[in-house]
Structures are given as structure tokens and as C-alpha cells.
């Protein structure tokens, strides 16, 4: 890195610290504000829940699907933020005796992800108050975090930037005018986005900084690990699509035959792959940063792997 780039990066870390102080919010005072969920509302917007793909369902059943997906949204974020935070704390070591503003930016990032996990636990419990019993999310965030952190930092940062960029798209979806959408869930998207948009800047700074220290062989191996991580995320999504279909079928109040159940499971998986894999992978900025670090051939390897997840 040359001296001009170093100064530019220092300024970006400093701006992240300033914005972190300015937008800081509180779970109860700013997001929840004494409200409760109402089962008359959708929790996820149609652009995320892809309710059009659930072709056999009535409007009321589609609303129930968006509520199940909303609860899963809270659980998936609670899960990914466990490993993101651990990686951020690990990376902060590299700034301990260096740029103290960069260190502060990462400490704040970590503090925010801990708060977000608390927010999503709270949302999961609040959704549980208004939906029927029987919902399951059996994936252990600590076990996932241990497995993810077993991969190289390059691979983990690639996945992290992907995730933190798609929360921005999720926020944009949630602000589409939709009178059926829960105001409380809209605020979850809004407040999460306020802090996530800066996390994506920090992910990119750390990823590019880390990348500069790798050999071509290390990077090539890391690309395989990134693909392995995306495939592992897909495994989680497949398991949850199955669990959420089982819950829907058990609680929707009518008999669902096997062929329809399979179609519902496919639609859940399609929605989850869109939410947690493709909406990030197709994000223009993710593509831009990724392609600046890898060869065309390596990019094709990643695209070929993503194409299998449809």
C-alpha cells in the first residue's frame, strides 16, 4: 500500500467511527418502542419472501409464510453475526499497536454485532408470542462459527462482505410501499441497515488489506474455501426450508398432500437462497471488489459453483 492509499484508508476508518457514533440506536427505545407483532401483518416484504413462488397458497397462507420466514430471518442473522463478530475481534489484533482509529472502528463493529444478535433473539421471542407453537431452528450458532472460522480469513471476509451488502438490499426491499407489512419489522430492517452499511465498508477495507499479504497459491486455496462456505450456508438453508415447511404444513389448518408439500419446500428454499446467497452474490459492489482481487478464471469457478444453487 502506498502512502496516499494509507491516508485514504485511515480517513475511511475515521468516517466509520464518526457515523457509528451518530447513528447508534437502542433495541428497546428506538426499535421496539413498546410495540408487539400483529399476526395480521406480513413480516418480510414480498421481494424477499418470494411469496409468488408459493403458487398453491391463499393470501392468508402466504402471509403466514412471510411470518415464518421473518422468524427464520432473525435466527439466520443471529447465527451469521456470531462468526462475523468473532472474525472482527480476531482481525482487531492487527491494529492493536497500529492505527488506533481503525481499532476503534472494529471494536464498535463488534459491539454493534453483539447488539444485533440480542435484537434478533428478542425478535425471535416476540414473533413466538404471536405465531403457533412448534417452530424449530435447530442450528447451533457456535458450532457454525467454529466451522466457519476454520476456513481462511480471506474466505470468511468474502462471505462476510457478501452478507453485509445484502442487508442493504433487504432494507431497500422493506421500504417499498406496502401497507400490509409490519411497521415493527420495517424498523428492524431500517435500524439494522443503519449500522450494517458501515460494516460493509470495514469488511472491504479489511479484506483488501488482508488480500495484499497473500501469495497467489494462498488466494487460490481461499477461493475454494469461500465456495465451500457458500455450499455450507446452502446446507443450512436446505435444512431450514425443510423445518419451516414442516411447521407450515402442521399449522396451516388444512391437509397438504405430499406433492404440494414438496412444492412448498422448494419455494422456501428458493426464497432463502435468494435472501442469503444470490442477493449478495449479485450485488454489484460485491462483484466489483471480488473481481479486483481474483483472476477471470477464478471468477468463473465461483460463478459455476453459485449456478449449482438454484
**In terms of CB distance, is 85 or 182 closer to Fe ion?**
85
CA 21 to chain centre: 23
Q: Which is nearer to Fe ion, 95 or 199 (CB)?
A: 199
* 100-130 helix and 59-92 helix, angle to the nearest 10 degrees: 150
User: How many CB atoms neighbour CB 49 within 10 A?
Assistant: 28
CA distance 240 to 138: 8
Q: Which is nearer to Fe ion, 135 or 166 (CB)?
A: 166
For residue 147, what is its C-alpha cell?
A: 466451522
Least separation in angstroms between residue 228's CB and Fe ion is 22
Bridge partners (DSSP) of residue 181 are: 42
CB of 209 to Fe ion, least distance (A): 18
CB of 196 to Fe ion, least distance (A): 5
The least distance separating Fe ion from the CB of residue 117, rounded to whole angstroms, comes to 8
Nearest to 76 by CA among 201, 207, 215, 244: 244
- 193 vs 268, which CB is nearer to Fe ion? 193
**Left, alpha or beta for 38 (phi > 0: left; psi -120 to 50: alpha)?**
beta
Q: Which is closer to Fe ion, CB of 82 or CB of 199?
A: 199
DSSP 8-state class, residue 32: I
* Shortest reach from residue 253's CB to Fe ion, in Å: 35
Under the rule (CB under 5 A), what is the footprint of Fe ion?
116, 164, 196, 199
* Minimal distance, residue 250 CB to Fe ion, in Å: 31
For Fe ion, the closer CB: 42 or 199: 199
Query: 184: Cβ–Cβ under 8 A, 6 or more apart, which residues?
Result: 31, 32, 35, 36, 37
Task: Note the Cα 286 to chain centre separation in Å.
Answer: 14
Amino acid at each position: 500500500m502506498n502512502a496516499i492509499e494509507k491516508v485514504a484508508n485511515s480517513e475511511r476508518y475515521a468516517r466509520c467511527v464518526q457515523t457509528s457514533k451518530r447513528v447508534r440506536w437502542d433495541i428497546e427505545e428506538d426499535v421496539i418502542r413498546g410495540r408487539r407483532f400483529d399476526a395480521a401483518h406480513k413480516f418480510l416484504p414480498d421481494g424477499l419472501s418470494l411469496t409468488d413462488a408459493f403458487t398453491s397458497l391463499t393470501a392468508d397462507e402466504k402471509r403466514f409464510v412471510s411470518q415464518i420466514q421473518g422468524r427464520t430471518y432473525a435466527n439466520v442473522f443471529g447465527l451469521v453475526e456470531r462468526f462475523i463478530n468473532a472474525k472482527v475481534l480476531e482481525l482487531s489484533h492487527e491494529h492493536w499497536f497500529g492505527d488506533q482509529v481503525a481499532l476503534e472502528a472494529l471494536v464498535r463493529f463488534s459491539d454493534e454485532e453483539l447488539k444485533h444478535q440480542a435484537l434478533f433473539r428478542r425478535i425471535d421471542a416476540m414473533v413466538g408470542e404471536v405465531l403457533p407453537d412448534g417452530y424449530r431452528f435447530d442450528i447451533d450458532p457456535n458450532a457454525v462459527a467454529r466451522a466457519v472460522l476454520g476456513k481462511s480469513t480471506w474466505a470468511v471476509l468474502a462471505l462476510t462482505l457478501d452478507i453485509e451488502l445484502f442487508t442493504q438490499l433487504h432494507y431497500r426491499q422493506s421500504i417499498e410501499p406496502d401497507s400490509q407489512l409490519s411497521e415493527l419489522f420495517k424498523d428492524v430492517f431500517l435500524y439494522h441497515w443503519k449500522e450494517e452499511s458501515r460494516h460493509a465498508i470495514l469488511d472491504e477495507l479489511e479484506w483488501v488489506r488482508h488480500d495484499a499479504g497473500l501469495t497467489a497459491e494462498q488466494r487460490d486455496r481461499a477461493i475454494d474455501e469461500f465456495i465451500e462456505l457458500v455450499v455450507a450456508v446452502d446446507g443450512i438453508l436446505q435444512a431450514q426450508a425443510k423445518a419451516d415447511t414442516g411447521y407450515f404444513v402442521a399449522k396451516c389448518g388444512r391437509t397438504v398432500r405430499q406433492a404440494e408439500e414438496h412444492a412448498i419446500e422448494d419455494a422456501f428454499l428458493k426464497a432463502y437462497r435468494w435472501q442469503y446467497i444470490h442477493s449478495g452474490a449479485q450485488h454489484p459492489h460485491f462483484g466489483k471488489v471480488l473481481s479486483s482481487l481474483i483472476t477471470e478464471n477464478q471468477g468463473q469457478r465461483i460463478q459455476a459453483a453459485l449456478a449449482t444453487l438454484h
